[in-house]
Structure 1
């Protein structure tokens, strides 16, 4: 399953949790849970500040987060980036 970039507005911040299933080079099935903080450069400054200040508290409430990914551009959370961070 791919991340739907349409769920991330071009000018609004969002949080997302993504369960990434993959197969290693040794042919082992694995899963990594990503916490994605999406704050594009075109977001309002106030929105960026609110998301930045609440991110850690929000993330602490979630169990099982293994990898955090901060993105300001869609290329920073593409499938190739997800794969490289999961390994």
Structure 2
């Protein structure tokens, strides 16, 4: 594996939709079966609990999520979070491809405020995401 993971144009389009229109709050991507391209998987409006249920227990994903929260002083905040979901049971070759894909996405997605690496659901708890975004 060379480290060059392509990102399908549909991924950028879905990100632009999340960023501009705000009709959706979550976009999920994955690495293609041949481990060469990041591809679009899902977009929609998900509650935090629905987001957790949408993540496969044994396959990596990239999640863009428009996180809404209140700071300690009570002011409302909104930040786009890129989550690298790579559960512990992921095969080595998939883990490597996922890592390369994440680097490529980070370089392409202008407007992402927070990057989170998650290996289990505790890393994805709402309070943990807010803590990283604050």
TM-score (norm 1): 0.89
Structure 1 unaligned residues grouped into runs of 5+ = none
Tell me the residue number matched to 1:78. 125
- Deviating above 4 A after TM superposition, structure 1's stretches of 4 or more consecutive aligned residues are none
Higher deviation after alignment, 52-61 or 30-39: 52-61
CA positional deviation for 1:25? 2.9
Offset at 1:23? 2.1
Larger RCO (CA under 8 A, 6+ residues apart): 1
- Which position in structure 2 is the counterpart of 1:58? 105
Aligned equivalents of 2:119, 2:92: Cα separation in 1? 13
Cα drift, residue 42 of structure 1: 0.6
TM alignment of 1:38-53, pairs within 5 A:
38-53=85-100
Structure with higher Rg: it is 2
- Secondary structure at the counterpart of residue 11 of structure 1: coil
Q: Deviations over 1:1-28 (max 9, x none)?
A: 4151122111101001011112223332
Normalising by structure 2, what TM-score?
Answer: 0.60
